[in-house]
Amino acid sequence: MKVYYSETHRKHEPPFEVFDGGLRVPYLENPDRMDRILQALRATDWAEVIEPMDFGLDPIHAVHDKEYVDFLASSWTEWLSTDSWDKSTLLPSTFALRRHPQKPASLLGRAGYYMMDLSACIVEGTYEAALASANCALSAAQAVANGEHSAFALCRPPGHHAGKDYAGGYCFINNAAVAANWLSAKDRVALLDIDYHCGNGTQDIFYERDDVLTISIHADPNFEYPHFAGYADERGKGKGLGVHRNFPLPAGTDDIAYLNTLDRALELIREFKPVYLVVSAGMDIYADDPLGKIKVTTDGIIEIGKRISALNLPTAIVMEGGYNNDALGKNSTGFLGEFR
């Protein structure tokens, strides 16, 4: 299996994130995650790690607002010229409540406009890393369009919380959405998101489209991040009505209950008759994930891979979350191994 990976992710290493209640904790979405996955992939006899191709900005602008991408590109330099007390990472402290239409001129005003929380910290290398991450997803999409049965984009930073014009949840550019949109120019696409958290950014990007079916299985937003998207009654809008589905799950969901829900999602994908599949693969559904409250085991993750693979579609698998670094290697390779 071709695995697209760039070392550029190391340039994105925020010094901390801010948890509920204001606690500063070490950044959970850290470079070590990639080292653990790479180490496990290199121990297999089927993973071929390759540098991504550079697709330029067009496929990113096709999914994200240009002014938002410009903000990602220039914000670090602007941040250094502000008079803020602590410039270790760009984080706003004011947010655009319910997407107020006014976009302020100041950097911190724009940061609040374009960021949804206190975990999408911007540092010097964030933009460069986010571009390389998107190029990994695009390279995997291109590989399956060129006839590979499956390909893996080892993306960091992740992407599924990033919407058309906002960053959040460690995500800046929506890698899976960029890949799915790129494939949608060729034929029908389904995007299945199995990260523990709702893929709110993906939902936002495709909500009014009928050419890309988006399905997210995740912890119920009534209790879990991102809180404001991912409810079962959100099913798309306009011609996209019915072409988005959410499967919110309770805390404590085990392998059996998860797999039952997955089977419902897979049935919807079969009915849609896509030509390509993109999977937003987060490993934070794992029982011992520090951010998760879903109780899927490593065997469960492997079985999820087996059932998705049984769709027998050309599949671009895109890395999202997963924060138990000790288990990331076995969970990721266990999942991917089912697609060979």
Distance CA 329, CA 257 (A): 24
Nearest residue to ligand SP5, using CB? 321
Report yes or no: 326 and 298 within 8 Å, Cβ to Cβ.
Answer: no
Contact flag: residue 195 with Zn ion (CB under 5 A)? yes
Residues 6+ apart with CB under 8 A from 312: none
Residue 100 is a catalytic residue: no
Contact flag: residue 289 with Zn ion (CB under 5 A)? no
Q: Considering only residues 236, 282, 300, 334, which one is a binding residue for Zn ion as defined by CB under 5 A?
A: 282
Q: Considering only residues 247, 320, 327, 334, which one is a binding residue for ligand SP5 as defined by CB under 6 A?
A: 320
Nearest C-alpha neighbor of 110 from the set 160, 175, 167 = 167
Contact flag: residue 12 with ligand SP5 (CB under 6 A)? no
Binding mask 89-128 for ligand SP5 (x = CB under 6 A): ------------------------------x---------
Distance CA 6, CA 23 (A): 31
- Give the DSSP letter of residue 53: P
| From 12, 64, 160, 161, the catalytic residue | 161
- 20 binding partner (options ligand SP5, Zn ion, none; Cβ < 5 to 8 Å by kind): ligand SP5
Strands (E), 93-206: 150-153, 189-193
Q: Considering only residues 12, 64, 197, 244, which one is a binding residue for ligand SP5 as defined by CB under 6 A?
A: 197
At residue 327, φ and ψ (nearest 5 deg) are: -100, -5
CA distances from 297 to 129, 254, 279, 302 (A): 31, 8, 19, 9
Residues in region 203-242 near ligand SP5 by CB under 6 A: 225
Nearer to Zn ion among residue 169 and residue 314 (C-beta): 169
Q: Which region, judged by CB under 5 A, interacts with Zn ion, from 195-203, 244-252, 260-268, 325-333?
A: 195-203
- 135 binding partner (options ligand SP5, Zn ion, none; Cβ < 5 to 8 Å by kind): none
Q: Return the number of other C-beta atoms located less than 10 Å from residue 44's C-beta.
A: 13
Nearer to ligand SP5 among residue 255 and residue 320 (C-beta): 320
Q: Which region, judged by CB under 5 A, interacts with Zn ion, from 29-37, 197-205, 245-253, 268-276?
A: 197-205
Nearer to Zn ion among residue 245 and residue 293 (C-beta): 293
CB of 169 to ligand SP5, least distance (A): 3
For 14, the 3-state DSSP assignment is coil
How many residues make contact with ligand SP5 (CB under 6 A)? 16
Active-site residue numbers?
161
Which parts of this chain interact with ligand SP5 (CB under 6 A)? Answer: 19-20, 119, 158, 161, 169-171, 195, 197, 225, 282, 284, 291, 320-321
